[in-house]
Amino acid sequence: DIQMTQSPSSLSASVGDRVTITCRASQNISTYLNWYQQKPGKAPKLLIYATFSLQSGVPSTFSGSGSGTDFTLTISCLQPEDFASYYCQQSFNTPYTFGQGTRLDLK
């Protein structure tokens, strides 16, 4: 199975900050990398797919980059509604695997 390692596991930031979350795959996954956001008690929400593509309705303050084994999710200007947990997922092959998550909270 492909192992996905996210860092950091938690992050404190302020409204207006720029934050970056990284995800590393244990082998080359090309650009088969998706990002999700989840708030407590809510359904996970797709943010970015295929490394770069922004899901419809997701603000342009979110962006993704990377290829091969190293990927990043960047939030360019944190909004109050962005404080949540974030997960990466590789879709290069099955079993699809997820990172352990990054919890982003208010400093």
Q: Which residues bind other proteins (CB under 8 A)?
A: 32, 34, 36, 41-46, 49-50, 53, 55, 87, 89, 91, 94-101
Which of 33/78 has CB closer to other proteins? 33
Which of 16/95 has CB closer to other proteins? 95
How far is C-alpha 37 from the chain's CA centre? 7
Q: How far is the CB of 69 from other proteins (least distance, A)?
A: 18
Q: How far is the CB of 67 from other proteins (least distance, A)?
A: 14
Q: How far is the CB of 20 from other proteins (least distance, A)?
A: 21
Q: How far is the CB of 32 from other proteins (least distance, A)?
A: 7
Q: How many CB atoms lie within 10 A of CB 13?
A: 16
- Angle CA(72)–CA(42)–CA(102) in degrees, nearest 5? 30
Which of 4/19 has CB closer to other proteins? 4
Which residue is associated with the tokens 């960047």? 74
Q: How far is the C-alpha of 38 from the C-alpha of 86, rounded, in Å?
A: 6
CB 74 within 8 A of CB 66: no
